[in-house]
Amino acid sequence: MRRKDREMDREFGIQIIDKSRYGIVSVIGENNEPYGIPLSIVINGNNLYFHSAKDGKKVNIFEKNPEVSVAFVGETKIPENFSKEELDEIAKNKSKASVLISKVFTTEYESAIVKGKIRLVKNEEEKIKSLKLICEKYTPNKMDYFQLAIESGLKLVNIYKIEINEITAKRKKYDINGEEMKWGRME
């Protein structure tokens, strides 16, 4: 990671994965071309899980090349570090132009990237457990119907797990004084 001052720990990365609505799974596909797939993903222990159709482009790619990278994006926003009056004062002094670049024309963000190996889950108990985790994350108020859905739908889907080899996390965020919180500082 180039910006070590923005690096966060593994636990922060897991929090980003947990709250992200989706992850982008990146692979090398047919003809050595990059291929990215947005998926609904849940983390459990040292594994990521998602479901898929039983066949198709991604299924073929996963069989041929199980090495993947998965990107997750947490909260993003444009910081409001200065009032209009403060910005007008900065604009009067060209030597302060770098402040505009670093603190005005920028984005606060948090992200996590996972590198790992994808595996088709074959064990029925693990398949059901992972589907339950996915449904609890994305449809928690519909869990009364989960068992019926599993009984009729389990045979129609593949479940994949990505065994996590590495999680890296990064964040850019400003404190209430408009100073960037670096080196994992939380407050």
User: How buried is 25 (Cβ within 10 angstroms: 0-12 exposed, 13-18 middle, 19+ buried)?
Assistant: buried
Tens of each residue's pLDDT in the chain, 187 residues: 667 678 788 999 999 999 999 999 999 988 889 999 999 999 999 999 999 999 888 999 999 999 999 999 999 998 888 889 989 888 888 888 888 888 888 888 999 999 999 999 999 999 999 999 999 999 999 999 999 999 998 999 999 999 999 999 999 888 888 888 877 677 6
Could you say which DSSP state residue 183 is in? T
How many of the other CB atoms lie within 10 Å of CB of 33?
9
Spell out the domain ranges in the chain: 4-78+107-172
Alpha helices in 82-123, H assignment, sequence order: 84-91, 97-99
The verdict on pTM exceeding 0.85 is yes
Domain 4-78+107-172 has CATH 3.40.50.970: no
